[in-house]
Structures are given as structure tokens and as C-alpha cells.
Chains A and B, each alone.
Chain A
Amino acid sequence: MKSLLNFLIKYHVFFLFLILEIFSITLIVRFNRFHRVSFLNSSNVVSASILDKYQGVVDYFQLKRINELLADENARLRNDLQNLQLESMDASIEYDSIGEHFIVVPAKVIRNSVNKQHNYLTLNKGAKHGVKPDMGVVCADGVVGVVLNVSENYSTVLSVLNGRWAINAKLKQSNQFGPLKWDGNNPMYAYLEEIPYHVRVLVDESVVSSGFSSIFPEGLSIGKVEEVAHSPGETFQTIKIRLSVDFRTLFYVQVIAQVDKNERIELENVTGNE
């Protein structure tokens, strides 16, 4: 017993090293979508408020750029509105306005990264503003990511630039769908996988969200086909996608969630009976 104790004392540094390393590796392995380490992320109070304050200062210097982006978006929305008004005059066309099915929470990005293997965003909206895990995050240019952790005032978002998940995307022309994955290198490109060889893929063809999951509605822009390659020995085509969102200049995003379909039908029935 005494010699065991002596042994432990003699090599205490090495054992401490092993214990700390094993603990760290456990943290790494356990951290995925299903085992969320709830307090060790940037939506906790201390780190999020530091980032928020700092982003406030940085934003001041970016005001001109942000203004330009907002003005652009305004112009585009006004354009869309005009088109919709024209369409709605034609009584034969029926369409669903997005506002009926989706809750939209505007939010500001207070932290973002594109140079890691697994990139995350931190937003300045949280549970208090109605943000919940698994809600979709979009910006004016297209799909940004999905909400991972939520605290009272902040939330963290799994970015598209993160190898831990894939969005279900489809080609607009052929309606063929597959997972869109980021390979960890260039923040401007991702790859659309599992598209079989018989499908003709055109360069510059649009890639949009498929709408098969309840996170994103169908038809949100994701990117455009940049390059199609046929590598020998592969079952599927290698399709390189130029992402429509520039992740290096994200300032404002919207958190969206589909209002529960059943809830909506129930509500409509109740109103109809009265």
C-alpha cells in the first residue's frame, strides 16, 4: 500500500496529465448534437455578454456596409412585394404567404467563425424572444444554419460550415435531392452528395432547400453549381456548390420556425365551428 502511494506521489504530474487529457477528450467526443454540454458554449451569460459588447463596438465601424446591405435587401423585398401584388390581382393564382406558416425572429450575429473545422454562430436572441433549439436560421441570401443551444438572451447556431451536419438540398431543375456537406476548407464552397450519374447537372444551376425537414421551407436559396466532376470508382457525382451566403460578412439573420401544422388545423376548425 505504502509503495503504491509512493509510486503515485512520485509520478503525480504524469497522472494529473493523463487525467486532464482523458477528461478533455471525453468532452470532445461527447460534444455533438445529441449530448449537448449545456454550459460550456458561447451562449452562456459571461462569454456572450463580452462578445455582445465587443460586437457593438465593431459594428459601429461597419455601419456603412450594413446600411448598404439593408438598403439592398429593402430594394429586393420591395421588388418582390410589387410582383406579389401583381400576381394577387389575378384571382386564379393561389399562393401561401410565408407569414402564415412561419414565425420569424430577427437577430444580430455577435460571433461568427469560418476558419475552424466546426463553425458556430452566436446570436443576440434567446429563449426570451421565442428562439428554441432546432429552429432554422436564414439571411437575405439564403440558408445559414440551425439553432443548437439556447440561453435566456442568447443562442448558438450550427453553421452550414460545420462538418457535423448536412442540409437536405435539391437541384432546382431536376428536383434531385441529397445532403449538402462542407469539407472544412474553403468557406465559399460546399459539396452536394449522393446525386447519381444519370442526372444531368448543369453548371450555374440553382441549389435550394428541399423542404423535407420541418426546419427550412422549400425553395430557400443555398447556392449554385460551380463544378461537376466524375471521379472514377465513385458511385455518385462530385458536385461543387458555390454558397450564396457569404459567411464572412454576416451581420443580421432571421430565426424561422414552422408553426405546428396540427395546431394550425385545430385552430382553423375551432374558428370554423363558431
Chain B
Amino acid sequence: MSKNIIWHIGLFVFSVLIQVLFMDNIQFYSLVNPYFYVLFILLLPINTPRYLLLILGFALGLTIDVFANTPGIHASATVFMAFLRPFMINTANIDEQEKTISPTIMNMGVGWFIKYSLVLILFHHTFLFFVEIFSFHSFLNTILRSVLSGLFTFVLILLSQFIIYRK
């Protein structure tokens, strides 16, 4: 159990560092900004209590905010995503004794993981980009940025699964 906690603390630090040191430097005409750090929320154990999910989401978002000088923006988007996560988790049928595992691609299968991560990432990114611009002024442009960045984040997270959980 405590081994599990240490592993997730490590994952938290890893996600934040990858985000602020590498991902924030990726720029394609301000269209693609990947937010890789959501990996941490995606991989929390299935039986994580919902209140803990929200608090961890808030802590993660605020940490990213401190680095990016955007107080509140990442925090609100990540809390929103953490709130939606249990609804996606419920779409899988899991045995009671298996609930301490993480919903990784190896544990849950490729098809389910793609659906699970893609939906949550797109919700997170859309929320984030709208909060960042704080208006519906350039609505289509913001949607386009959310979808492109979301897809890019999704590919990175899929790849990271094969690197972290290599057998």
C-alpha cells in the first residue's frame, strides 16, 4: 500500500516536471499546447475516494499554475476533470478485489483506455482554453485549439504508457 503511495507521489513530480520543463516549450503557432500533467489524474487507483480526487486535482493544477503564472486556470480545469473521472471509470466493469489497481492501458485494455483518456483530456482542455481566454469571442478558434492540443496530449499519454509500464 505504502509502495503504491510513493509510486504516485513520484508520478506527481514526474508529470509536473515533464510539463513545465518540456511541454510548455512546444509551440505550433499557439495552436498546440499539450498539457501532459493530466496523466497523474488518469492513473490514480480506481478506488481513490472522490473527495481525494478533487483535492489532488486542485493541488496538481495549482502547482502547474505556480510555474506558468496563471493562478487558478489549471486548478479549475483539473478539478473539473477530477470531478468527471468517476463517471468514466464507471463505464468499466471491474471485480471488487481489483479496485486497488490503476486504470492503465495494460490493466484495462487498449480500447477502454483510449475512450477513457480521450474523453477526459478533451473535457479538460476545452474547459482550460475557455477559462484561459475567458470569453466566447473567438469560439471556433478556441474549440480548434482545444481539440488539436487534446489530441496531441492524448498521443503523448498513450506513448508514455508503453514507456512507463514496459514489460
A residues in contact (CB < 8 Å) with B: 12-13, 16-17, 20-21, 23-28, 31, 37, 40-42, 44, 47, 50-51, 54, 111, 113-118, 120, 156, 184-187, 248
Contact = CB atoms under 8 A, between A and B. Distances in A.
B38 interface: no
B70 A20 contact: no
B132 interface: yes
A24 B76 contact: yes
B155 interface: no
Nearest to A46: B66
Interface stretch (B24-32, B90-98, B117-125): B24-32
Contact of A115 (B30, B58, B67, B73): B30
B69 A156 contact: yes
12 contacts: A21-B76, A23-B72, A25-B72, A27-B72, A28-B134, A31-B70, A47-B66, A51-B20, A115-B26, A116-B33, A184-B133, A186-B29
Nearest to B22: A54
A26 B70 CA distance: 12
Interface in B54-99: 54-55, 57-58, 61-62, 65-73, 75-76, 79-80, 83
A17 B79 contact: yes
A28 B73 contact: yes
Given A13-B54, A44-B66, A117-B133, A24 B61 contact: yes
B51 interface: yes
Interface of B: 20-21, 24, 26-27, 29-30, 33, 50-51, 54-55, 57-58, 61-62, 65-73, 75-76, 79-80, 83, 131-134
Contacts of A186: 29-30
Contacts of B131: 25, 28
A118 B133 CA distance: 9
8 interchain residue pairs of minimum CB distance: A27-B72, A24-B76, A28-B72, A24-B72, A120-B69, A27-B71, A24-B75, A13-B50
Contact of B69 (A13, A26, A41): A41
B75 A20 contact: yes
Contacts of A111: 67
Contact of B76 (A25, A42, A117): A25
B30 A118 contact: no
A111 B67 CA distance: 9
A69 B107 CA distance: 51
A47 B167 CA distance: 34
B58 A113 contact: no
Nearest to A39: B66
Nearest to A148: B69
Given A17-B83, A24-B76, A40-B65, A116 B71 contact: no
A204 to B, nearest CB: 24
Contacts of B55: 16, 20
Given A113-B68, A118-B132, 19 more contacts: A13-B54, A20-B55, A21-B80, A24-B58, A25-B72, A26-B72, A27-B65, A27-B71, A28-B70, A28-B72, A37-B71, A41-B66, A42-B69, A113-B24, A116-B33, A118-B70, A184-B133, A185-B30, A187-B27
